[in-house]
Chain A
């Protein structure tokens, strides 16, 4: 086990916008091992792997493969050095056969033409060697997700990969497929292929990895033998706050339920229950936080509540009325405001003026029209007022939004959503990727509006600081379910929260009953 296959030493990566994705990260992979790489969203796992696979270049640090220092310039270079990557989102050509996909880039040639038979033979040979049950002649589009993943692995193996990077390979698999995958990974390991296994699922990491490296906010929290760890101690290493933010606030005086979610179920296109029987209420005057590792149904929940997504069963009442079958317009008129997760996609139209973006949700209303035209003066006055109130740094209200900084773009979004007169605010990642000052303004405004204006707010955020400090009640979402509920968010320790987020512990329905 002492043989070193890969050593990444003091790797630092700073993106051009100044974001430090990795800081002095060390990673050592031995021969014949399955090595876990874990960390929260944005901890820097993907960046680190991108550098190993030649998709990004490190600013500092060295990479050694088999003891030799290497510069990995691009993915082809990485492949030639024996590194293979199985992407989370498959990169396959669905209309071609398995053999054609696997041999892509190393096509066998006969008489200047593609030799399909040999491609099939080669694919079958390597599949048999590692005990992959797959038909090389089948079209990829006819395969199950688990089989597609095998094709991805074969693609790397046929190019002679000795180190396989697997980015959350089990996220898309059923439990049976996961078991099968693990069996195959063990075969690969015993045959001399090392595997870097990126996952949020601690039980899987504990089950198959011999060692694990933890990243937190771009910093390496060390490598550990899994036999020395428990799931609880691992989650403690992963989840933590770098700077503790404090928002002074008194306890909420809650009113009636503004939003009631009842047994909500949403099924995605591949038949998975992405929201699986969620029920809870949000009352006037309180901020309810939802914490959770991303991809556990939070985005889908926001889609349903905002009216942008459908749901299969259950019901959502907003101010006493169901939102089922209602358009976004109707739901907004019923009292919903929505800060979207990705501001450039659903929060603003970049090429349009600040003015149009601020009044985008309301310019169609009668009060803004004067005959057949819009009331320009009324709109201008309103927009000028909001630009002042929210301190949007811009030269004129007619400037296109895309020319502003991220923080100022988000101010445009909140200037619209905070002033729409809604009594329910759905805030998704409201401060993601923006400057500290604006983030603080947004968080404080959310709390203040809840206290002073009786706003009911649902705060969905991957930022622990934010959910712990802004929220009154705190819920944890995992695998489409609410798995924990806490009455006072600022009294929850991050270790406890981490254990629930990562599924080390779950609360029973009885424990949560009074808190939903």
Chain B
């Protein structure tokens, strides 16, 4: 994102051309932020019902949070963090390795491979959830840890989507790293692995962060696959656990849900704000180059 430049505009021209933009900004910000403020307020309310949450910040207590931690929520949080974290790291490693291969080596089937990934990318893995369910059902008989109701199996399923979604984005960025750098390193005696890990990955670190974050958010929010694969209450992710917790008892458990929502959204929102510069770059650059 280009550095922001300011132009001074004063007097009548300011009123005519600029003032209304702040009005739009105010309306848009209220629209964007209101539901989130509302959740925060509901999580701090004492009664914890849907009706009780309509007076914003009528009272500020932590009873809902206390109640939340009596449920399995902490366990779900750990599950989500571990599943999302492992998936994100492995996704970054596998997708960047593939992007490195496509960007730096010339091999038979390279063009075909790239086109193939572009095609695969169109079909969301989620659509095959029935087959995933049946595959894991069979795998459970052979290796329970890779079968239904295993968190490791869920990670493996998510990793199936690692290449399709991210290789292309990274490929574009890898190409923007000058090849002269590799060659200089090669002359100094570095092998392909060292070039990959110590030169290229360092240079594209911001992209890696974005891919990791988007991958994490994707698995964190996934309901359909996690809901099918995981069955035991103590193995659920937040998305599945919180939903089951609130389903059918919308009114009564609203406050606890709001507390859970606040806690689980907070780290992601902060990361997003922190990385927004790179996210914007990643969103536009990857696809344009693709």
Decide if A and B are genuine partners.
no
| Residues of chain A whose beta carbon lies under 8 Å from any beta carbon of chain B | none
| Residues of chain B whose beta carbon lies under 8 Å from any beta carbon of chain A | none
